Amino acid sequence: MQINLDDKANIFNTLIEESPMPIALYTGENMVIQVANKAMLKAWGRDLSVIGKELALALPELKDQPFLSILEQVRSTAMPYEAKEDKVVLLNDNVLQTFYFDFTYKPLLDQDGNVWGILNNATDVTELVNAKFKVEHSEALFRQMIYDAPVAIGILRGRDLIIEEANDELLKIWRKSKDIIGIKLLDGLPEIVDQPFPELLLQVYDSGVAHYGYETKARLEHNGAESDFYFNFVYDPIFGQDGEVTGIMIVANEITLQVVSKMEAAKSEERFRNFMYDIPMATAYYETENIVISLANDEMLRFWGKDKSVIGKTIAEAIPELNVQPSVDVLKEVYQTGITYHADQEEFEVIIDGKEEKRWFSFTYKPIKDSSGQVYAIIHAAMDVTKLVRLQQQKDEFLGIASHELKTPVTSIKAYAQVLERMISNEGDEKKATMVRKMDLQLNRLTGLIGDLLDVTKIQSGKMTFNPVEFDFDAAVEDIVDEMQHISSKQKIICDLKSNAIVFADKERIGQVITNFLSNAIKYSVDAVEINVATFSQGGEVILSVKDYGIGISEDMQHLVFDQFYRVDGNLQHTYPGLGLGLYISAEIIKSEGGRIWVNSTVGQGSTFFFALKTKSFRSYN
């Protein structure tokens, strides 16, 4: 298309038509559309067919909107009208849509000053307004998020650190009310002036780099007094559209209770460690199911023959010689089950100065549990009893030798006493014969004591022999009761033998246990008139019980009665003499035969001793 540059009217019309700004011209009282460029037609969603029509008819959707009345006001007053980001609903693609415009209605006057038309200039700012709405909505959501957040959040603006926002959690931390919103931080919290926080905030503001604080102490005013509080917090810079820092977001979490508890726990742990290090007993502290050595005092390190380099290692790694011994497995079992393990005089092979040595220890593995009952550690306390064990071995060797040496002359003396008793009896001197018989009874007692000492040395050295045979249990008990009844003239031994069991065990050793039970029953119930012996079968076992009606044993001492050299307390030791070996030997015999032994007793009412053995079969009746 050729443009005549001399035709200024045509050029002017072209400029209006091609202008990207919507332009329209309305004339007359009915606001007839005389001009509407392409941009305006596009904004209206109309074509050139609206030219020459009244505005109200061309855009009927304007009926309930203020624009027609505004145009009438401009025409009648000859005063221009300007609006910014004004909302208008237009029919576009047969759909009513919302738009926003900056626009002016400029009245055009004739020579007489009358309005002959109105020029409408507009700028579509819909995208800008929608973006602004989104920003405002985002800010509203952000502010709501701040107030709804379960952690303390606040916004500081400018280098003066004006408190723009502070949710309830942050106000609670600061111990302040909402009155501080809008004032400078240091005016609202003057107590932090001499603390590091103002300087940290300015560093974040100037550098644009966030600062993270962990378990940081702050002194804050509350109820007229300053107190120490602890926080985890973040100072995060807020950037404007130009990339410059405009403020700082504070996110904080008060952890005063946790830190104080942690500090108390640290103090408690320090006291515990000092106690563990200072205690004269060898002590170690293990953690995790892998049994990691967290602590071991000098005495325990000496036991192990190690130095402090073992701390932090598993016991299997730190003391490899224990891997072929049961300790590591026992520790793991204690950790898994939560059951304390105790051992007396247990033998270990340890490396001392590069050499393997045999040592004996008495020790306890004690599980430590949390509030839910879960094991989280084990305390190991131990005593080196090597010297004691070796002294016991020497004692046992001495007792063994002494017993053997005594046995021969005592046997000879007993033989001479029996011969002498017969000779005196033949001479008719009954008084002397009675005295010799009493001497023979004492020799029998001495022989029994020597036999007990020999049995103890055999038990300690593991040399006690057993010769198992099948035998009728009830019959064996009955034979022993008959023999013991001759010894006891005062107490009647009443039997209730109903086991009908055949057992496979050393008959002589089992008889030794029954004899010990009956001897004790006779000895400790001198004022009673009867002793009850019973047998019965239960759960694949034959069980024997011997009940007396004597002095009884207190509950707190019952667990000791099967220990070596245990005897009754106080003056009763003289009333009931003995070495305290019989029940110990009996317990070892029953254990060696794979059985069980126990006691029930009440002080002043008597005791019932039991043992149980596995049943081989039952007696048959033909």
Cα–Cα nearest to 323, from 301, 303, 349: 349
**Residue-level pLDDT at 323:** 78
409-425 average pLDDT score: 74
Does 294 or 619 have the greater pLDDT score? Answer: 294
| Residue closest to 251 by CA, chosen among 373, 389, 110, 154 | 154
pLDDT at 575: 43
Contact 249, 154 (CB under 8 A): yes
Overall average pLDDT of the 507-517 stretch: 90
Instruction: Specify the length of the chain in residues.
Output: 622
Architecture of domain 8-125: 2-Layer Sandwich (3.30)
Per residue in 82-136, pLDDT (tens digit) is 999 899 998 887 888 889 999 999 999 988 889 999 999 998 888 888 878 776 6
34 sits in which H/E element: strand 32-36
Helix (H, G, I), strand (E, B) or coil at 181: coil
pLDDT of residue 17: 83
Q: How far apart are CA 283 and CA 266, in angstroms?
A: 20
Q: How far apart are CA 106 and CA 70, in angstroms?
A: 11
Q: Which CATH superfamily is 149-259 part of?
A: PAS domain (3.30.450.20)
Residue-wise pLDDT for 202-237, tens only, equals: 999 999 999 999 888 888 877 778 888 888 999 999
For the ranges 328-337, 444-453, 514-523, the lowest mean pLDDT is seen at 444-453
If you average pLDDT over residues 468-493, what whole number do you get? 88
**pLDDT at residue 66 in the model:** 92
pLDDT average, residue stretch 455-477: 80
Which of these ranges, 48-57, 166-175, 329-338, 560-569, has the smallest mean pLDDT? Answer: 560-569
Mean pLDDT for all residues in the chain = 83
Quick: pLDDT tens for 382-391: 888 888 878 7
**% of the chain exceeding 70 in pLDDT:** 86
Intra-chain end-to-end CA distance of the chain, in Å: 140
- Residue 5 confidence (pLDDT): 47
The pairs formed by 71-74 with CB atoms below 8 angstroms and a separation of 24 or more are 71/26, 71/31, 71/105, 71/118, 72/31, 74/105, 74/107, 74/115, 74/118
Higher pLDDT: 378 or 5? It is: 378
Q: What is the pTM of this model?
A: 0.42
Q: What is the structure's pLDDT at 175? A: 85
Question: 468-618, superfamily in CATH?
Answer: Histidine kinase-like ATPase, C-terminal domain (3.30.565.10)
Could you tell me which CATH number the domain at 279-384 has?
3.30.450.20
What single string gives the DSSP state of each residue in 355-373? EEEEEEEEEEEEEEE-TTS
- pLDDT of residue 365 exceeding 70, the answer is yes
Tell me what pLDDT residue 590 has. Answer: 92
Model confidence at 571, pLDDT cuts 50, 70, 90, reads very low
- Could you report the per-residue pLDDT of 167-210, keeping only the tens digit for each? 888 888 888 888 999 999 999 998 888 899 999 999 999 999 99
Mean pLDDT of 35-58: 90
Mean pLDDT of 581-603: 89
Cα 365 from Cα 241, distance rounded (Å) = 66
Domain spanning 389-461, CATH architecture: Orthogonal Bundle (1.10)
Dump pLDDT digits (tens) for 432-458.
777 877 776 676 666 666 666 666 666
Residues of the chain within CATH 1.10.287.130 domain(s) are 389-461
- Per-residue pLDDT at 574 exceeds 50: no
Stretch(es) of the chain classified as CATH 3.30.450.20: 8-125, 149-259, 279-384
Q: What is the pLDDT of residue 573?
A: 44
- Give pLDDT tens digits for 14-24: 788 888 889 99
User: What is the band of 567 on the pLDDT scale with cuts at 50, 70, 90?
Assistant: low
Q: What is the pLDDT of residue 7?
A: 56
139, with CB counted inside 10 A (0-12, 13-18, 19+), is exposed
Q: Is pLDDT above 70 for 252?
A: yes
| Alpha carbons 315 and 26: distance in angstroms, whole number | 98
> What integer pLDDT is reported at residue 531 of this predicted model?
93
